[in-house]
Amino acid sequence: MPFRVNSKAENWHAPLQERIQPPVEQWLRGFYDAKMVITDSFHACVFSIIFQKPFVVFGNTNRGLSRLKSLLEPLGLMNNIISPDHKCNASCDINYQNVEQKISKYKAKSLDFLHSVLDK
């Protein structure tokens, strides 16, 4: 069953009830319960990865395609972008064990950096 977490908040012609944003808890629960996420949002990609959900993201240069690339490329998830120059050829069968290993390496590298500059 499709679940939509965004509203028509920026559409001043929409009825007030349709412009109300869902509570953060409901927004996060949407990712937690999802079988798959289809989005055009950087933050939706982040939470899809956190909750280890299969996802596809529509790349939109007006909304920050470079941010998506900087998130997905190091994790080996560039095939999950659909855009004029990135055709989706992924089955969305993501090896999250591999992704988590990469994230762990980046966390360790970040902590090493912080320790090195804070210990000076």
Q: How many domains does the chain have?
A: 1
Q: Would the pLDDT of 20 be above 70?
A: yes
Is residue 25 a part of any domain in this protein? no
pTM score, whole prediction:
0.80
What sign for the dihedral angle of Cα 22, 27, 30, 32? negative
Is residue 85 a part of any domain in this protein? yes
| Residue 108 confidence class, pLDDT cut points 50, 70, 90 | very high
Is residue 10 a part of any domain in this protein? no
With vertex at residue 90, the alpha carbon angle to CA 51 and CA 47, rounded to the nearest 5 degrees, is: 20
Is residue 81 a part of any domain in this protein? yes
Is residue 89 a part of any domain in this protein? yes
Is residue 13 a part of any domain in this protein? no
Q: Which residue has the tokens 């998506």?
A: 68
Distance CA 91, CA 19 (A): 34
Which residues 6+ apart lie within 8 Å of 20 measured at CB? 7, 9
Stretch 31-56: mean pLDDT, rounded?
A: 92
Is residue 72 a part of any domain in this protein? yes
Output the pLDDT for position 85.
67
Is residue 27 a part of any domain in this protein? no
Residue 95's domain comprises 34-118
Q: Would the pLDDT of 82 be above 60?
A: yes
